[in-house]
Amino acid sequence: MKSSPHVIVVGAGVIGAASAHYLTQAGARVTLIDQGDIGSGTSSRCDGNVLAIDKDPGFDSQMATVSQQLLHELAQELPYFEYRRPGSYLVCDNADEVEMAREWVRQQQAEGLPFAYLDYEAIHRHLPHLAEDVPGGLYCGSDSTLNPLLYTQRLAQSARDRSADLRPHQPVGDIGIEGGAAKGVRLASGEWVPGDAVVVAAGIWTPALLEPLGIRVPIRPRKGHLLVSGKGPLFGDAKVMEFGYLMSKFGRERVAPPDAMQYGVALVYEPTASHNFLLGSSREFVGWDTSSNPKVVQSIARRAMRFYPGMKDATIIRSYAGLRPWTPDHFPIVSEVDGVPGLWIAAGHEGDGIGLAAVTGRLIADLVLGGSPCIDPGPLRWNRFTEEGGMDHG
């Protein structure tokens, strides 16, 4: 790789924007291309949770912790993107979840993470608006929150300030492979953009870009709905999720009402810097439809009132839905494509792309430019999904 290579990043969601930020910081020339506006994909249809509390102990939570540390630095470096660090809570619905929560805390504490179990008295002292029968919960002190669209835009602006070429409204048609290596992209307009490396950070659209090259990427859209309240009294300043959110996210067994099970609904309460709150969320494989389904909206509202009875009087002003880029093992793909030098994938972050953007962008810069990686890239390799561990040339 040249000392100042030209890297083309396809997709200006939070992952592409973070990659562009760290690549330009490390001295690369970058062209950041999107078919729409900056952040117009899933990165503007989500919450802004930056969580360790919902990560599996081990690599998952370590990766999240590195990202939280990098984000903390970004918050000092970039203009304001509503970054706050109030910590977050998981609340339990029943005695079984209390047992699981205690074990979860033990495992995370063993890894040195700032987790605490909160018994009945403590959880109600911390969260006085909770329903009286909530039996316990837990707290993670390092968790933070931000405005995801603003964050994405700030990262892209930072890259632009270091001379990155930002090209919104330019769909990429094809990735150009010459002599077996990635050499640039052809825009739908017919324009050829040459480069020394291509990073595909196209979220749920990543498979469509790579399949014509015979490269299989098992990313599927997993729909999630959110409700937005009007401005008014908040139900606390920190993020609150139910413990069942973990089970829903990881597809584990959980006891909940039939509608919550059907739509993968679990409470997520997120107060924003604008003094309203977001309520989530659902998880469904229903194709590419991003319209709001009233039944899912009702299910989310019901679930919220189970934990916060006072929400029956709250005003909800709108709902929207986005598509998470799901992978079979819940880890993103941050990797070169074996057998195609210069072709990289940074996609598949499911419900964690906002939180993991910083570590992903930094890792892409480290790997593409040949630096030492900020985390072990092994678990994020693309070829973990291919039977033969390599390419399927079509």
Which residues would be at the binding site for ligand FAD (CB under 6 A)?
A: 10-16, 33-36, 40-43, 45-49, 171-172, 201-203, 205, 209, 224, 226, 280-281, 322, 324-325, 347, 349-355
Beta-carbon contacts of 276 under 8 Å, excluding residues fewer than 6 positions away, are: 228, 229, 230, 231, 232, 317
Minimum distance, C-beta of residue 324 to ligand FAD, in the bound complex (Å): 5
Going from the C-alpha of 374 to that of each of 16, 65, 145, 384, the distances in angstroms are 18, 12, 22, 20
Do 63 and 375 meet the contact criterion of CB atoms below 8 Å apart? yes
Helix residue spans in the chain (DSSP H): 14-25, 59-77, 95-110, 120-126, 148-161, 206-210, 244-250, 258-263, 294-307, 353-368
Minimum distance, C-beta of residue 353 to ligand FAD, in the bound complex (Å): 2
Q: What are phi and psi of 308, to 5 degrees?
A: -130, 85
Q: Within 10 A of 389 (CB to CB), how many other CB atoms are there?
A: 11
Q: Quick one: 102 or 330, whose CB is closer to ligand FAD?
A: 330
DSSP 127-177: -TTS-TT---EEEETT-EE--HHHHHHHHHHHHHHTT-EEE-S--EEEEEE
Q: Quick one: 137 or 325, whose CB is closer to ligand FAD?
A: 325
Minimum distance, C-beta of residue 299 to ligand FAD, in the bound complex (Å): 14
Q: Quick one: 134 or 202, whose CB is closer to ligand FAD?
A: 202
Q: Quick one: 69 or 94, whose CB is closer to ligand FAD?
A: 69
Minimum distance, C-beta of residue 18 to ligand FAD, in the bound complex (Å): 8
Minimum distance, C-beta of residue 166 to ligand FAD, in the bound complex (Å): 12
- Measured CA to CA, the distance from residue 183 to residue 342 in angstroms comes to 8
Q: Quick one: 184 or 203, whose CB is closer to ligand FAD?
A: 203
Do 133 and 90 meet the contact criterion of CB atoms below 8 Å apart? no
- Measured CA to CA, the distance from residue 103 to residue 281 in angstroms comes to 24
Q: Quick one: 102 or 167, whose CB is closer to ligand FAD?
A: 167
Minimum distance, C-beta of residue 53 to ligand FAD, in the bound complex (Å): 11
Minimum distance, C-beta of residue 388 to ligand FAD, in the bound complex (Å): 26
Q: Quick one: 98 or 241, whose CB is closer to ligand FAD?
A: 241
